[in-house]
Amino acid sequence: MRYLSGDEEKEAILHFQEAADAASSATCRQRHYGSVIVSEGRVIGSGFNSPPAKREDQRRCSVLKDSYNKRVTDKTCCMHAEQRAIMDALKSNPGKLPGSRLYVTRLDGGGRQEGLSGDPYCTICSKMALDVGITEFALPCEDGIRVYDAAEYNTLSFQYGG
């Protein structure tokens, strides 16, 4: 993991704003996340979190997560912003995914970019990113903008909460 500074940090701030713009379309009842994938300085995919195909009949917010079988690994009812961004890039720019960077941010309750992210934790998204050739994850954190190598992000995701 490394921290961005200078021009690279300024560029990342712009991409986080694009991710925040994507998050404004989220319909999750808990948190609004947005994600963009950038290759060669250009957004090649974007996404936000909401139920699959925006189908409200698939929403399961009222189901207690402890009630699911332990084999259910993702107990949220929403597609992740990262998943949607990857699928968007696969549809429109599949050849640009190798070597790209995935930016993830979330909005606060007032619709403003929260600016803080926790440690890597989603193995579903980290595995998808590795599989399509995304090279890095960028997260806005209290101590600055962190950039993780995708393999490192995946390893840390498996260690989360352990």
Q: Which fold has domain 2-52+89-159?
A: Cytidine Deaminase; domain 2 (3.40.140)
| Tens-digit pLDDT profile for residues 44-79 | 999 999 998 766 776 666 656 566 466 545 646 688
Nearest-CA neighbor of 51 among 22, 73, 80?
80
**87: pLDDT strictly greater than 60:** yes
pLDDT at 24 over 70: yes
d(CA 61, CA 58): 9
Domain boundaries, the chain: 2-52+89-159
Instruction: Render pLDDT for 132-146 as a digit per residue (tens, 0 to 9).
Output: 999 999 999 989 999
pLDDT at 117 over 50: yes
pLDDT at 1 over 90: yes
The predicted pLDDT at position 109 comes to 76
Share of the chain above pLDDT 90, in %: 64
Nearest to 117 by CA among 138, 148, 88, 93: 138
Amino acid at 14: L
Reduce the DSSP state of residue 15 to 3 states and report it.
helix
The pLDDT of residue 84 is above 50: yes
What is the pLDDT of the chain when averaged over all its residues? 88
pTM above 0.75, yes or no: yes
